Every structure is written in C-alpha cells, then in structure tokens.
C-alpha cells in the first residue's frame, strides 16, 4: 500500500502542476479573474493533499490501517472537492452544467477533513 500511496501522491502532484499551468496560461483568456481564482483553489488543495499523501506513504509513524483510510479519504476528497471546483470554475466553457453537481464540493471537503482527523487519531494513539 505504501507504494500505491506514494505513486498516487506523485500523480496528484504532477497533475496539480499541469492544471495550475493550464489555468494560468490556457484559461486566462477564457475565464474571469474570479473563475481563475476558483480554479486555483482546486489546484492548491490538490497539491496540499498530494504532499500529504507523500508524507503518509513515506512515514512509519502512521499505522497501515490508518494509512489506508487516509489514502481513500484523500483520493475521494480530491476527486470530489478539486474536481468539482475545476468543473464549476470552467462551467461557462462546457455544455454540462456543473452547478447541478456542485453539492459534491462540500462532501469532498469533508473527506479531506476526515483524512486529517484520522491522522490526528493515529497520533493520539501512538505509544511513545
């Protein structure tokens, strides 16, 4: 599982860089400053959690069971939170109305929060 967590963290990180560059250069002429700022929020949270997964995958302080829960919480959270933000920010460029699925953004946020809470629980239960 460690290798999967590390690979996923690296993939999320490189995608955040690609999407950030795309937003800054490719979308600048097509989106309002507010839409670009919203898009950048999705990129920022994706990168934070990519780094979080790299930490989780490389540390021995977090137990295997907690790593698995954190991994899936982050993965679901990034897809729902950042993914929906990307859709909402670029809503005017597509034929699909992403506002109809905007309710998943806070659900994704809750998964991201839960992943950090699980880390806190792991730390509280450490036997040092």
Model confidence pLDDT, tens digit, residues 25-36: 999 999 999 999
Q: Does the pTM of the predicted model rise above 0.85? A: yes
Look up residue 16 and give its two tokens: 């955040």
Mean pLDDT across 41-68: 97
Where are the domains positioned within the chain?
2-124
Each residue of 81-106: pLDDT tens digit?
A: 999 999 999 999 988 888 898 899 99
Mean pLDDT on 37-55: 97
Q: How many helices (H) and strands (E) does the chain have?
A: 4, 0
pLDDT of residue 127: 87
Angle at 107 between CA 3 and CA 33, to 5 degrees: 95
pLDDT value at residue 75: 98
């Amino acid at each position: 599982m460690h290798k999967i967590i590390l690979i996923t963290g690296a993939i999320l990180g490189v995608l955040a860089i690609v999407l950030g560059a795309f937003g800054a250069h490719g979308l600048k002429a097509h989106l309002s400053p507010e839409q670009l700022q919203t898009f950048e929020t999705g990129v920022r949270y994706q990168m934070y959690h990519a780094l979080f997964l790299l930490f989780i995958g490389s540390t021995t302080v977090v137990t295997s069971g907690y790593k698995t829960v954190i991994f899936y919480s982050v993965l679901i959270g990034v897809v729902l939170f950042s993914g929906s933000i990307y859709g909402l920010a670029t809503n005017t460029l597509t034929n699909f109305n992403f506002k109809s699925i905007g309710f998943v953004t806070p659900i994704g946020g809750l998964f991201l929060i839960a992943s950090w809470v699980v880390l806190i629980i792991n730390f509280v239960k450490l036997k040092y």
